[in-house]
Amino acid sequence: MAKRVKVVLKEDVLSLGKDGDVVEVAPGYARNFLLTHGKALAVTPAVLKQVEHRLAKKAEHEAAEKQAAIDFETALKTIGRFTIKKQTGEDGVLFGTVTNGDVAEAIEVATKKEIDRRTILVPDIHETGQYKVQVKLHSEVTAEINLEVTGN
């Protein structure tokens, strides 16, 4: 059986591992691909210490992002209701529909904070009324906001 070598990945490698993982690979694969393309480092105590430090910083950064998302969720709940004005026809039927871009713009106007429209899940809205809209602020934090659609 061939000898295996341990390397620390510097970036995600498909079907091998993620950034910071210690993996065992064939010596030729490590020497000819991973090390020469800068995708991995040979395992040494100093490298392992650097990886631990980098992973700790990454975890700290992710915790700060999650806390910021929780704070923003609280701010959205405090505001309570967002209003969007659209042109309507008879019986309160909208010309067009309310899009996630419209909701993102309403949130930005109210909070002065830019939000990515792709993180907003809007139900089909074709008439005036009140609706619930999901806003994904973080992979673990989703806010539900109240949306009121009114006619001009």
Domain boundary among 63, 83, 113: 63
Amino acid residing at 101: G
One domain, residues 73 and 143:
yes
One domain, residues 56 and 72:
no
One domain, residues 75 and 51:
no
What is the domain count for the chain?
2
Residue 149 to residue 23: CA distance in whole angstroms: 54
Domain boundary among 43, 63, 83: 63
Residue 114 to residue 133: CA distance in whole angstroms: 17
Instruction: List pLDDT tens digits, range 22-57.
Output: 999 999 999 999 999 999 999 999 998 988 898 899
For strands 40-42 and 120-121, give the pairing: unpaired
> The domain spanning residue 29 has which CATH number?
3.40.5.10
Q: How many CB atoms lie within 10 A of CB 111?
A: 15
One domain, residues 43 and 83:
no
Instruction: List pLDDT tens digits, range 110-151.
Output: 999 999 999 999 999 989 999 999 999 999 999 999 999 998
Whether 146 contacts 132, CB under 8 Å: yes
Q: Global pTM?
A: 0.71
What is the residue range of 95's domain? 66-151
